[in-house]
């Protein structure tokens, strides 16, 4: 997870409940945050989350990657 200069404690909440690592930086915008996330990633998959995701979006994205390796998938409502 990348905290791109949020004014609240979102990174602490995410770390506590989701048990994810968090890269913190001053606000530099979406592209810089995605680049920081890419550099910090170490898993098999990398997902950039938007403002809203449809229910079960992560499961659907992982299933799609298992079937066909794609570069981008949008699962918005």
35 and 12 inside one domain:
yes
Which pLDDT score is estimated for 26? 92
36 and 4 inside one domain:
yes
8 and 36 inside one domain:
yes
Q: How confident is the model at residue 9 (pLDDT cuts 50, 70, 90)?
A: confident
| Among 77, 52, 75, 76, CA closest to 63 | 75
50 and 35 inside one domain:
no
14 and 33 inside one domain:
yes
64 and 77 inside one domain:
yes
28-47 pLDDT, tens digit each: 998 999 899 888 888 777 77
Which pLDDT score is estimated for 14? 77
What is residue 24's DSSP assignment?
Answer: E
The verdict on pTM exceeding 0.95 is: no
Compare 25 and 65 and report the one with higher pLDDT.
25
Tokens read off for 18: 């989701």
Tokens read off for 46: 């990398």
58 and 74 inside one domain:
yes
Tokens read off for 3: 């905290």
Give residue for tokens 């994205």: 61
Helix (H) or strand (E) holding 4: strand 2-4
Q: Whole domain around residue 52: which residue ranges?
A: 45-77
């Amino acid at each position: 997870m990348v905290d791109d200069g949020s004014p609240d404690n979102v990174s602490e909440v995410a770390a506590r409940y989701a048990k994810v690592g968090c890269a913190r930086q001053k606000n530099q915008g979406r592209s810089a945050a995605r680049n920081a996330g890419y550099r910090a990633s170490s898993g098999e998959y990398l997902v950039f989350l938007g403002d809203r995701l449809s229910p079960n979006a992560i499961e659907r994205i992982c299933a799609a990657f298992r079937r066909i390796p794609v570069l981008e998938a949008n699962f918005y409502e």
